[in-house]
Amino acid sequence: MSYKAAVGQERPASRQSTKSNPVSEGISAKSQQDQKAPWKALFFFTTKANLPILISAVICSIACGAIMPIEAFITGKIFDGFSSFALRKTGATEFLDHQKKYVVYQVALSGASWVFHSCEFMLWLAFGELQAKSARDRLFHGLLEREIEWYDMRKNGIGALLPRLQTQIRDLQLAVAQPLGMLVCAIAQCILSLAEAFYFSWKLTLVTLASAPLLIIAITIISARMQAYIEKQQAKLAESQKYCLNAFGAIETVKCFNGQDIERQKYMIRIREAAQCYFKVVKWNGLMMSAGVMLTSGMIVQGFYYGGVLIRKGEVTPGTVVTCFFSAIGAFSALQLVMPHMMTLEKGRTAGSTLRAVMAEMDKGTVQRRLSGLLTPLECRGEIEVRNATFAYPARPDQLALDNVSMFIPSGEMTFLIGKSGSGKSTLSQLLMRFYSASQGQVLVDGIPLESLSVEWLKSNVTLVEQQSLLFNDTVFQNIAFGKEDYEDVTKSEVLEAAEFALLQLMISDMPKGLETMVGHKGGTMSGGQRQRMVLARARLRDTPILMLDESTSALDYISRQLMMDAIRRWRHGKTTIVITHDIAQILPDDYIFVLEHGKLVQEGYRKHLAQMKDTPFQDFLAPDERALTSPFDSRKGTAFNSIHTRGSSLDSPLEDEQQEHVMHDPLEARLDASENNNRVSFMPAAFTEGSPVPLLGAFGGMKGAGSPWMRLAQASTPPSTSPVEPSRSSWLWETDVGSKTTIQRQNTQDAGGWSTKLEQLVDKAGKRALDARKTVDGVRRRRVMRNEEDGVPLKTISEEEEEKPAPLVSQKEKKLTTILATIWPILDWKYRVLMIIGFFGCSVHAAANPVFSFVLAQLLATFSLPGNQQSKQLLYSMMVLLIAFTDAFHCWVLRFLLGTCGQVWTDNYRERAIERLLDQPKAFFDEQENAVSHLSDCLDRYAEYMRELLGIFTGLGYIAFLMCLISVLWAIATQWKMALIALAS
């Protein structure tokens, strides 16, 4: 078997299905990608309780937006004072009084700005947290209401869906926090600034804003491109997470077939495809930033040059030009301030729209399923009937899991379902629990269809114990007590009684805190057998009328399994119990068995009769030395018989009239037909008594029509007897009408010495094999070589091993930012090292451009205070501003694109190293609570995305801020050291 085939068998079919609604996967379909997510998507999860905080945050943001226009007005007045004093229009005293007044206004405005910005930050941060909480609550409760088939239809599996939903919630939270507040502030600032600019000089405002339409068009086009690539990136990340979760979830299979490299390659292919999408995202994001820088600087050139023209004409004062200009520029500097956060806002809009679509998808079909359960009977007898049930899992609609299956399970008896893997045994338990509904046919409990029963009533009266035992990260006591609905009122004596039933006394006594011992995440501190016994103890405490055990003792050793089955038989005496198993050693001769194969019921009957049938499906489950070598029918060949036709039989396969014409008369059928009008009592022909050469006919299974070879019998040579013998299943097998009432019986005797005899045989065989293992080979007695004798390394004592404490996986030194950043250079190849150097060079140019821009702008403003015609100087400085703007814009794109690209490559290289090392970890590593599959997946997905921004955004911005401050301070000190020191004093 190849590794890929093995992994395909290991993973659930629901994970392999390709039929799914993409919206429910958290990724929009292609038709939905063309529709841009609306801005209202950011508020899809806003509740009435969130409105006070939202309104307060909006008010604070508007107040923050009003600060810039007010500051522009004050700055214009201060500039008018300098200009008038320079032109000797005012005296020194008047100048000082004028300036002092507006300086006080500026200080007060700064204080108000500090208060409003602080409140704005806190309120928007709180609103983001509330939005995330609201989204989590609604999704959590929505997921709890889903039916199992909804989970099966997830394309990438629920394990990949949940982390993606968490990522979407995180994106929404980040967007509606500070970025949304900055957007509201920017809109308010833009509107108020434009109003102020038009008020003081509409001519200058129109000229200054002449390039604004270009900026708006550029932002719109680039934003649309960015969103398309963001959605593609999210889709690729979802696929990569699916491979990651499947590999970690089936780590045993991966390691057994040495599939680590295959899983790593599949994961990294999707990661590299996602990286290609992100490269385009940062390219367009950098282009958006550079366009904003270029067009905003272009406004400066237009505004100040035309402002000089208006001053020369005497239409406005220099202060008015400054106020009008700064107001106009402030309108679009606000937009420039929001541009770095546009990607976050775009992700938030996409996340809100996606989460809303997921909620809408989850809401489909739930109400009808819940409203269909109406009846709540007063008691549950435990009678189960399956009538012609046909079912296919939603993920595999073309492959029938059950094909026209009918069976009857009387109340108060133990019944066994056996069959090979994929035969449909567990599917029956899923239908009975109403996890799914049969596409055809019915499943009835006490004669009532499941669709007419209340779901709550059904879950309260039916218990399913599956092979994979689920334990909660709580105490032993609580894990057992959870079996009862009122688990808070469970007493210690009840739990101890259930634990004694499940053979847990020794385990509990060995635990340090007894019943109060924590079992760990998913019961990771316990063995598989202990977890199964814990769940059986929980079922014992629950004690419902109907119990289904689906391979519930498969992890126990032979002796414990037999003891557990004996305890279950004693407990479930007189109660309906269905045991699904591959281990027929648990089945006693008088136990009734249904044999399933390929979703069909092919054989049923008591074990003692099935064991006598040669070449039947049940024989495949017996050891070669236990199989029947001859059949009682071998001596009676040559005569064809029709399939047994009994009213209501689960093996009822009536032939068509034209088929029956070719079949010889069946005396048993004639006997049943003759008694059709009589009242019924269970009788069997004497030929079917124990010890008769003819085994029980009911042991043969049936298929539709006459297709099943196990439904044919040879003609009996002796006439049937009317003596009642083997008790049978009510209304299903061997019913003849005699008397006035129906007798329904079935023996439930137990072979007390059956399992002990087999145990003695097992011990005897084991002893012989152990004796053979100790025999000499070629005259030399075999001896195990000790490790210390083999390699010369002395073994450590237990005390020495206990003294050695494992070092933490990540030391405090490795958590430092400098240590993390030091890993960037070694992990990149020379191509990306060069690109990173060019990116930081772009940061240097961008940092230096601001002081240079300020210097040239100051020279341009100074021309307004100089006498005479300064048109040539104004033109020169305007062209210099335009050149600086072009250079700054280009390097702004370079730094955003190259550093974002290098950050993605750095992150992906560590992703590859991480998954390679994780796949090489032992199984015990994945059993630890802190190494849960979902947590490891988050580290490779969400946390890796944050790691990328460390180099792509924050490192570059930190370097720019440091270099800009250094150049500005040195320049200020070099030009006007007195003014610089006074400014730095605060």
CATH code matching the domain that covers 384-588, chosen among 3.40.50.720, 3.40.50.300, 3.30.470.10, 1.20.1420.20: 3.40.50.300
- The model's confidence at residue 765, banded by pLDDT at 50, 70 and 90, is low
Work out the mean pLDDT of the chain and round it to a whole number.
Answer: 75
Which pLDDT belongs to residue 867?
66
- The model's confidence at residue 222, banded by pLDDT at 50, 70 and 90, is confident
Q: Which range has highest mean pLDDT (37-41, 576-580, 669-673, 710-714)?
A: 576-580
* Strands 462-465 vs 414-419: parallel, antiparallel or unpaired: unpaired
What is the three-class DSSP state of 547?
strand
Q: Please check the confidence at residue 165 and state whether its pLDDT lies above 70.
A: yes
- The model's confidence at residue 397, banded by pLDDT at 50, 70 and 90, is confident
Q: Which residues, other chains included, contact 823 with Cβ-Cβ below 8 Å and sequence gap of 6+?
A: 906, 910
Which pLDDT belongs to residue 52?
92
Distance CA 521, CA 929 (A): 5
Among 193-207, 237-251, 662-676, 972-986, the least confident range = 662-676
Would residue 575 be called left, alpha or beta, if left means φ above 0 and alpha means ψ between -120 and 50 degrees? Answer: beta
Among 84, 439, 3, 520, CA closest to 264: 3
Among 227, 276, 340, 221, CA closest to 893: 340
Domain ranges of the chain: 384-588
Q: Please check the confidence at residue 615 and state whether its pLDDT lies above 50.
A: yes
What is the three-class DSSP state of 375?
strand
382 in Cβ contact with 559 (< 8 Å): no
Please compute the mean of the pLDDT values over residues 58-69 and round it to a whole number. 92
Taking each helix axis from N to C end, the angle separating 51-86 and 178-200, rounded to the nearest 10 degrees, works out to 40
Higher per-residue confidence, 83 vs 893: 893
612 in Cβ contact with 589 (< 8 Å): no
666 in Cβ contact with 641 (< 8 Å): yes
Please return the burial class of 590, using the count of CB atoms within 10 Å of its CB with bins 0-12, 13-18 and 19+. Answer: middle
Distance CA 892, CA 886 (A): 10
Q: Please check the confidence at residue 698 and state whether its pLDDT lies above 50.
A: no
Among 213-222, 361-370, 703-712, 928-937, the least confident range = 703-712
